[in-house]
Amino acid sequence: MATNANFSIHVAKENLKFSAAHFIAYPGFREPLHGHNYQVGVYVEGRLAKTGYVIDFGLIKKLTREIVDRLDERTIVPANSDCLAIDGPTNGVVRIRYESDEFVLPAADVCIVPIVHSSAEELARYIWDELAAALRARGALTEVTMMEISVAEGPGQSAHYRNSTDGA
């Protein structure tokens, strides 16, 4: 068998989804707070291990499910925004200010994520980073060479983040 052969797996199970509210904001523009029923897919490429796997489907499903559960039924707030002021959680609330607008949300209903915008693109990169870290912590990236995450906001509309796992 060729040693440079690549194999791939794709996981896009019904339960790899989350419902969340968000809004995109940048200087001079803020869209209304709204929500999506997001669907997440994971595509992995790599070498075939002695186990016969590139990586175990079950592990990908379990770890991805843990990540999307943290986002589910929350308002996603981008911690690295260049135009939002985020205070909290303090006294059980998170305050978010954009120009003259202010949102006050229960802290339990908010997920502050280390991204600049709560776009599907940045959510895909965030999920990629979280999944790569979880796989690395379990020593499960040994045969994986590339990983791609898709985040669909609805049918026919998705963003993808693809990167090498070298150094992940």
State residue 54 phi and psi, 5-degree precision: -80, -50
Nearest partner of 35 among 18, 51, 11, 50, judged by Cα: 18
Residue 15: alpha-carbon gap to chain centroid: 15
Residue 151 is given by DSSP the state E
Q: According to the CATH classification, is domain 7-72+120-164 in 3.30.420.40?
A: no
What is the tens place of the pLDDT at every residue in 146-164? 999 999 998 889 999 999 9
Residues 6+ apart with CB under 8 A from 137: none
For the chain, the first-to-last Cα distance in angstroms comes to 27
The pLDDT score that the predictor gives to residue 1 is 47
Mean pLDDT of 37-56: 92
What local confidence, expressed as pLDDT, does residue 168 receive?
54
**Stretch 6-22: mean pLDDT:** 92
Strand-pair partners of 73: none
One-character DSSP codes across 4-57: T--EEEEE--TTSEEEEEE--EETTEEPPPEEEEEEEEEEEEEPPPTTS-SS-H
What are the boundaries of each domain within the chain?
A: 7-72+120-164
- The residue with tokens 């029923």 is 37
Residue 88 has pLDDT above 80, yes or no: yes
- Grouping H, G, I as helix, E, B as strand and the rest as coil, residue 72 is coil
List alpha helices for 110-151, DSSP H: 120-137
Amino acid identity of 111? C
